[in-house]
């Protein structure tokens, strides 16, 4: 299909949760956007069972999705807010609890199915006049020009944009085409996911237990069931996947300590590899990496998609400031400032998660872990600092994540 425009302001490559959010925010800010996506997302069925992949969206991420026009539609369908978080070490009695009201928060986060988020955003994209969607298509090559980038597509056509945003996931082909290196830490682990029913319903608690082989999380669902993420060595994960339902339920009951009683039933199971990957650069000329294309972290803190949505908000904030200064997207030093901002944030989060994982998986450090959890539990400042950062609304968070509107950001930049 021939593009209606000769050159777009921004090309967004990849329309998963982060990419689709980025495109919606940009279009709602008045930028012309072309979206290139390899596969149209599945249609979300609110009458069907809960999907295997869910995300614990922080209040900051909810605010970003609200700015994109998606949050109300998501809440109107299927979601589960949680106000209590419990963390415990299986090796000893140490634990840590967070209650939203104690910190003046309405909720700590919201469990939402990935398919619902992406499907909602996709519907919004299709309704926006300044967005052109090419799907299913892939980028096969690129040519850097003085004031734009020409993307070669797999249908022998091309698309030109002043700025290209790579949102095409951990195995980003655009990152490779741009020649950006990355570092990868393989954990030789997989995250096993399933939806389970326990004897007692989940009371709306995000619960996590650190086991010697890896963390086990129970995330609350609207009907009292839990979505689990069980991190195990790859060989052990494959063994768990091969068990019949009764044997799997018994193994999960044992691993969880039956905090809600025994597991009574479980649905389909799936697994995905766990690793950490950090791109060396987030910007190369007029090409920007965000989301999993820029950074992949261990899911134990549930921060992967939250980091990506913060990237999206920060990028739009940067581009609005550039526009107010008379610069077209990608035409000033603003992108370098964006890269420094988001790289420092993602590396801090990734490094912290990596260290936490190592601490809890190292045998013989039970006393140190217990002391650490007790110290954090007794320190209001430590708990609030942790919580604000996990909520995506710390001092260094993008304005959209802290509740500012696109209009307010644009007006502020125009006034400046």
Give me the tens of pLDDT residue by residue for the chain, a chain 416 residues long.
445 568 999 999 999 999 999 999 999 999 999 999 999 998 899 889 999 999 999 999 999 999 999 999 999 999 999 999 998 888 777 778 888 888 788 999 999 999 999 999 999 999 999 999 999 999 999 999 999 999 999 999 999 999 999 999 999 999 999 999 999 988 889 999 999 999 999 999 999 998 888 889 999 999 999 999 999 999 999 999 999 999 999 999 999 999 999 999 999 999 999 988 999 999 999 999 999 999 998 776 567 899 999 999 999 999 999 999 999 998 878 899 999 999 988 877 766 665 555 545 555 444 445 545 554 455 444 555 666 777 888 888 999 999 999 999 988 765 55
pTM, 2 dp: 0.92
Establish if 242 belongs to a structural domain: no
Count of structural domains within the chain: 1
Contact (CB, 8 A) for 13 and 146? no
Q: Which two tokens stand for residue 363?
A: 């045998």
Q: Following DSSP, what letter does each residue of 182-247 receive, concatenated?
A: EEEEEEEEEEEEEEEEESS---SEEEEEEETTEEEEEEE-TTS-EEEEEEEEHHHHHHHHHS-HHH
| R_g of the chain, CA atoms, integer Å | 22
270 within domain boundaries: no
Q: Is residue 168 part of a domain?
A: yes
Q: Is 98 within a domain?
A: no
Nearest residue to 274 via CA among 242, 228, 234: 234
Q: Flag whether 387 is in a domain.
A: no
- The whole domain housing 59 covers 8-81+113-184+275-357+397-415
Residue 338 sits in a domain whose CATH number is: 3.50.50.60
Q: Is residue 129 part of a domain?
A: yes
In this structure, what DSSP letter does residue 32 have?
Answer: -
What is the CB neighbour count within 10 angstroms for residue 170? 17
What angle (nearest 5°) sits at the alpha carbon of residue 201, between those of residues 199 and 202? 125
* Cα dihedral 85/86/89/93 (nearest 10): 150
């Amino acid at each position: 299909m021939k593009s209606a425009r000769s050159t777009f302001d921004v090309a967004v490559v990849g329309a998963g949760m982060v990419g689709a959010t980025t495109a919606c925010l940009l279009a709602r800010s008045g930028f012309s956007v072309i979206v290139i996506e390899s596969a149209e997302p599945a249609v979300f069925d609110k009458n069907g069972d809960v999907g295997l992949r869910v995300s614990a969206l922080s209040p900051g991420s909810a605010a970003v999705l609200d700015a994109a026009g998606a949050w109300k539609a998501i809440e109107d369908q299927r979601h589960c807010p949680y106000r209590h978080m419990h963390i415990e070490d299986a090796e000893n009695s140490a634990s840590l609890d967070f209650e939203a009201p104690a910190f003046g928060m309405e909720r700590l986060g919201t469990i939402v199915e990935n398919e619902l988020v992406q499907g909602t955003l996709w519907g919004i994209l299709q309704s926006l006049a300044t967005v052109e969607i090419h799907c299913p298509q892939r980028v096969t090559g690129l040519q850097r020009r003085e004031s734009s980038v020409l993307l070669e597509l797999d249908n022998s056509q091309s698309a030109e944009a002043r700025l290209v945003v790579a949102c095409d996931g951990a195995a980003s082909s655009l990152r490779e085409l741009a020649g950006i290196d990355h570092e990868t830490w393989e954990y030789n682990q997989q995250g096993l996911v399933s939806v389970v029913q326990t004897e007692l319903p989940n009371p709306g608690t995000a619960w996590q237990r650190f086991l010697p082989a890896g963390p086990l999380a129970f995330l609350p669902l609207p009907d009292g069931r839990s979505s689990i993420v069980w991190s195990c060595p790859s060989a052990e994960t494959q063994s768990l996947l091969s068990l019949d339902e009764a044997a799997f339920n018994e193994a999960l009951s044992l691993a969880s300590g039956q905090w809600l009683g025994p597991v009574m039933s479980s649905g389909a199971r799936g697994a995905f590899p766990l690793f950490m990957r950090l791109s060396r650069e987030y910007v190369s000329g007029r090409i920007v990496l965000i989301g999993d294309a820029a950074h992949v972290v261990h899911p134990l803190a549930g921060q992967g998609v939250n980091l990506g949505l913060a990237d999206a908000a920060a990028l739009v904030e940067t581009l609005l400031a550039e526009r107010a200064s008379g610069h077209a997207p990608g035409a000033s030093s603003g992108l370098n400032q964006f890269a420094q901002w988001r790289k420092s944030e993602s590396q801090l989060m990734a490094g912290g998660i990596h260290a936490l994982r190592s601490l809890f998986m190292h045998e013989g450090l039970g006393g140190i872990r217990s002391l650490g959890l007790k110290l954090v539990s007794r320190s209001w400042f430590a708990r609030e600092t942790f919580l604000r950062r996990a909520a995506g609304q710390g001092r260094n968070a993008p304005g959209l994540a802290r509740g500012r509107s696109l209009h307010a950001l644009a007006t502020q930049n125009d006034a400046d």
